[in-house]
Structure 1
Amino acid sequence: MPSDKAELAARIAILQSGDSIRGLIFKSVFGLVQQHAGAIGMEQLRVGELNHDYAELRSYPAREFLTLLYNTADLLEGALGAQDAVFHACGEVSITRYSTGPGMLVFGIISRGDPQKLFAGAQMAYSAAVSYGNREYLTTGPKSGTLRMRRDMMPPAYHVGILTGSLKVLGLTGKATAKPQGIDRVDYDIEWT
């Protein structure tokens, strides 16, 4: 089943001028496509506005990244499952790569392996990768919290992948549950063991 293009259009419609994402995040998704669909999949994906080189530390329009996510969902559906499963995989691979690059400061020095510190630094971490949105973390227990994202137009499954992937980077298992408040407003309940 093709990805939801009406949802894509709605997400693109709420973008503001200047909303951008670092090339590193694009390259992470391209790597996932290369892994599961090879050179043929990359040729199918790298058309139109996605047909240019991406430098890791340069920023590119968020519109292009949304297009990339939904096109990747179409392309990898057979390998990874429905749209949300692909978005989740894109989020997880993005945070894995980010944590060894620009995010190493947040993962290694600031968090010191503590998920509470890591998620409390979410605004700083996201600000290094994207130019939009606000994130606020609330501790709800010794091994749980809620991350409130506002003015973030990415699909919730993508962020669930980032959050559960972050726990994996720290060597923990856990889950994140999205509670949408609107198309660009979602609360994520996070728990780990």
Structure 2
Amino acid sequence: MMGSESSTSADSGLGTEQELLRRLALTTPADTVRGLSLHTVMDAVRTDLGEAAAEQCFGKLSEKSFRSFFHYPVSDYLQVLYAAAWMLNERHGGFDNAVRRIAGGIAPGFLASTVGKAFLLLSKEGPKHLINNMPVAFKAAASFGEVSLRWMGPRHGVLHTRRDFLLYMNHEGGLLGLFRALELPGARVQGRQVGSLDNEIEFSWGD
């Protein structure tokens, strides 16, 4: 997709070990993500740095293989996400961009699945109809968080997430990956953290 943009002007400061430990301390055993999210991290590291780096990234986890639609602790996901982003930091110009690069693979992986293909049928009624179902897709992918969507115009909206263990860069990368898959022109995405585990991600598309 040509002309896609995200917020890259300043480092968020969220790529520290202290921030990782803070988020981990807030998780509970009930907070989970689907294995697809873990696959996305592994695929990014394997593609950019090779198999040995991917094995190193996942080396501290007790499980070594993940089924796409099984549930796994979000604490495991956060640990491998941070480890991967630190590994990819130099290649992609910082931790934030590394997270965006990783998250950019979630939409293609999801849309290629049986569940994703069902969601993709919604795009036949226009991208707005598909995006309206993003809160449902989020709840299908993670057990935590509250997600809402507010439209500012026909091609301009804001995604709000509450008690969300994901970084706002996860959502930036995921949205840009979705827009790329839908071949929407002139996509722009800019997120920010607005609370301890709360995010706002503004997006738009069109020339």
> Is 8-17 or 128-137 further displaced after alignment?
8-17
| Pairs within 5 Å for 1:34-73 | 34-49=46-61, 51-73=63-85
Per-residue CA distance 1:137-157 (angstroms, 9 max, x = gap): 111111101111111111111
1:52-90 Cα shifts (integer Å, max 9, x gaps): 211112110000001111000111123222110111011
User: 1:37-186 to 2 correspondence within 5 Å?
Assistant: 37-49=49-61, 51-101=63-113, 102-106=115-119, 108-112=120-124, 114-173=126-185, 174-186=187-199
Residue 177 (structure 1) shift:
1.1
Deviates more, 1:35-44 or 1:56-65: 35-44
Q: Distance in 1 between matches of 2:61 and 2:55?
A: 13
Could you tell me which runs of 5 or more consecutive residues in structure 1 were left unpaired when the two chains were aligned.
Answer: none
The one of 13, 17, 20 equivalent to 1:5 is: 17
Larger RCO, structure (CA 8 Å, separation 6 or more): 2
Shift of the 133–36 alpha-carbon distance from structure 1 to 2, 3 Å rule, reads same
Secondary structure at the residue paired with 1:98? helix
Residue 113 of structure 1: how far off its partner (Å): 6.0
Provide the secondary structure at the position in 2 that maps to 1:136. strand
Task: Single out whichever of 84-93 and 108-117 deviates more from structure 2.
Answer: 108-117
Give the percent of matched residue pairs that are identical in Structure 1 and Structure 2. 24
Following TM superposition, by how much is the alpha carbon of 1:17 offset from its aligned partner in structure 2, in angstroms? 2.6
Task: State the 1:15 CA deviation.
Answer: 1.6
Q: Work out whether residues 45 and 84 of structure 2, in 8 Å CA contact, stay in contact via their aligned partners in 1.
A: yes
Q: Distance in 2 between matches of 1:19 and 1:65?
A: 11
Runs (5+) with no aligned partner, structure 2: 1-14
Following the alignment from structure 1 to structure 2, what is the Cα–Cα distance between the partners of residues 113 and 53?
Answer: 37
Letter in 1 for 2:88: L
State how far apart, in whole Å, the 2-side matches of 1:78 and 1:190 are: 27
CA contact (8 A) 1:120 1:136 kept: no
Alpha-carbon distance in 1 for matches of 2:55, 2:29: 29
| Structure 1 residues 140-179: Cα deviation after superposition (integer angstroms, max 9, x where no partner) | 1111011111111111111100111111111113111113
Q: Contact 1:34–1:42 at 8 Å: present in 2 too?
A: yes
Contact conserved, 2:40 with 2:103, CA < 8 A, in 1? no
Shift of 1:50: 5.7
Mapped to 2, the partners of 1:180 and 1:39 lie a distance apart of 33
Q: Is the 8 A contact 1:11 1:154 kept in 2?
A: no
TM-score (norm 2): 0.86
Report how far residue 121 of structure 1 moved.
0.7
Question: How big is the alpha-carbon RMSD for the aligned residues of Structure 1 and Structure 2?
Answer: 1.7
